[in-house]
Structure 1
């Protein structure tokens, strides 16, 4: 159930990257931002809500209607659960690199095995940030990884502390508020591949962390582009909805996953002083209880509400200067549509928002690969990234996929400092 989660998370502007078509005597497509002259066959389909106009000509499939898969895609909870349990899991051979952080913590970076031999040093690098308790074993992560790799991209999955079997070596996990690990991961990848452009895709809580990072780094952000999917944006609103109706099922499932991770490393927390409530965290029945017992104290917040309020990426959008594509589902039960910062996205020329009428949370069971294949969003994400990497071309030579086989983990010995 962890895949249905709240996060299971070089300064370029859109004006530089966007190659607008020569105006033609066609109808105007009115976005929430402006009226843009576009040929009829390039205008986003009315079934989609679009906020902003940057990058639209590069997104080749937006002119098609969003058709949810019959029955599965008609109910947001059914779609969320189906995608979590029944979406196919592509086999990928990983080589694990454990990266020690400045505070002696450890995060696990999963690279596709063999890519150092197959790909040039200048190949673009895509960093993937899964959702809460998620990692390189999640289906939506694997599908995006394979799509990018087939287009000649080097891909690495960032498994946060305790996630994806990443080791926990200090009495601290990760949170929606903590950007330190992501900064170190991006810096490490940039140093390792200095000739490559860096990009990132985040889902759910991973998307919230990514957008906060973009906002805080602003004009000095080393990423050339980013994509946010199923972002809860406003964690206060998300928390309100998380405790209502059927959402309680997700809440309990996620709390259970958090508790399992915590119990594996409980000895690290035995002698913690202060307001920590270790028993509450170890036996939490909701994500809020876990955050009350552990998370908000670890990161210095007075209350859970204070933690949620100050960790929401909705406040970061206005500061984003990196090209950013945000994709949300209007019926997402975990990332409520009313929490999307539409006005700030509309006013930021670096941002584009697409809201599908259906999709659930981390679902999007629609498109050519439905029901068990890649989410509907994947081709859209790849078109956007390809446009940023090679403006106007949208092409690159695919790399060999011969190294994609049975799943295994080839971990490096020791911990890289």
Structure 2
């Protein structure tokens, strides 16, 4: 059964599904072009981060990358990377730059095990591990009770964000959230990545996971019942998660992990304003996993585009130059949400 929380209320009304205004760059109309071009061809945005090490309640740590003006009045955006992401992830850095320009403070969360220094405990981040994001939310809320906090997650980070929102319900310590290219149903996504061209994406992601595992376990022994040899020899996510992710994180096997960790089942429980941006041609998954409005809470808006690939959404600028449309779109969305929040506070105070 999925994780539950006492007192969690299910929304009784449906969310919204909107047609996205995104239009792909005319030279990057295909799903693979949209997915590959920003990852491989885009220069890494220049960004200086102040790194903070945040201790976790169970004796481990995560690293935070801060940027923006250090004053308490500015809103805070928490950014959560996808599988294989880190402080160098281009979509994180590009989004951070836009938000800082708009006057925000940005906190990039490196999920457990994603730092250059391996984390202390046997487990590392996975699709269902929301504990560190929820801990960060609470730390930020304790430090600045009146701060406006927004959260954006991409891919795996989007899954973690949406699951955490569903688990927290009305008590979620973030005021607003966005998620991009999330795997609504993990089993179907893992199956899809086994076939056709999608196998190339699977190999790239698996290689990054295996590199993380090798770095960590060059210093630490593997805790039973995880099997390092089988994990490093895995040919697909099912084999890797059966051998490594599931046993280290309390799941029976890969199927149990996929069933309990997928964010789709948590969408009806979200009670903070949330925008989910998704492309129907996302090559990491199939359109059948996309939920209909009846599976969204009234707090969730699902913005669908026929094109955009996976964490792509590259459009054309005025002179035909490639533009990272999703980053501009999400920044504008958060800026508008913060403006409404301030206006509401001013009205309530008068």
Q: TM-score range by the shorter chain?
A: 0.7 to 0.9
User: Could you tell me how far 1:366 is from its partner in structure 2?
Assistant: 0.9
> Is contact 2:75-2:104 (8 Å) kept?
yes
1:158 pairs with one of 97, 106, 109: 109
Between 1:165-174 and 1:358-367, the stretch displaced more is: 165-174
* CA deviations over 1:292-324 (Å, ceiling 9, x no partner): 111100111111011101111000010000000
Counterpart residue number, 1:391:
340
1:95 pairs with one of 50, 54, 66: 50
1:83-232 mapped onto 2 (5 Å cutoff): 83-112=38-67, 115-116=69-70, 120-232=71-183
User: Could you tell me how far 1:240 is from its partner in structure 2?
Assistant: 1.5
SS of the residue corresponding to residue 200 of structure 1 reads: strand
1:297 pairs with one of 247, 266, 272: 247
Cα-Cα RMSD? 2.3
**Structure 1 stretches of at least 4 aligned residues deviating more than 4 Å after TM superposition:** 369-374
With the length of structure 1 as denominator, give the TM-score of the two structures.
0.74
In 2, Cα distance between equivalents of 1:33 and 1:343: 5
SS of the residue corresponding to residue 334 of structure 2 reads: helix
Counterpart residue number, 1:351:
300
> Is contact 2:279-2:310 (8 Å) kept?
yes
* CA deviations over 1:120-172 (Å, ceiling 9, x no partner): 30211000001011022111111110111111110010011222425311211
Q: 1:212 to 1:337 in 2, by over 3 A?
A: same
In 1, Cα distance between equivalents of 2:318 and 2:60: 39
User: Could you tell me how far 1:363 is from its partner in structure 2?
Assistant: 0.9
1:81 pairs with one of 27, 30, 36: 36
> Is contact 2:26-2:316 (8 Å) kept?
no
Q: How many residues align?
A: 330
User: Could you tell me how far 1:188 is from its partner in structure 2?
Assistant: 1.7
In 2, Cα distance between equivalents of 1:166 and 1:242: 29
Structure 1 portions without partners, runs of 5+: 1-31, 35-48, 52-61, 395-417
Are 1:307 and 2:257 counterparts? yes
* CA deviations over 1:187-220 (Å, ceiling 9, x no partner): 1222233331111000000000000000010011
User: Could you tell me how far 1:258 is from its partner in structure 2?
Assistant: 0.6
In 2, Cα distance between equivalents of 1:85 and 1:325: 27
Counterpart residue number, 1:375:
324
2:282 pairs with one of 315, 324, 332: 332
In 2, Cα distance between equivalents of 1:326 and 1:185: 21
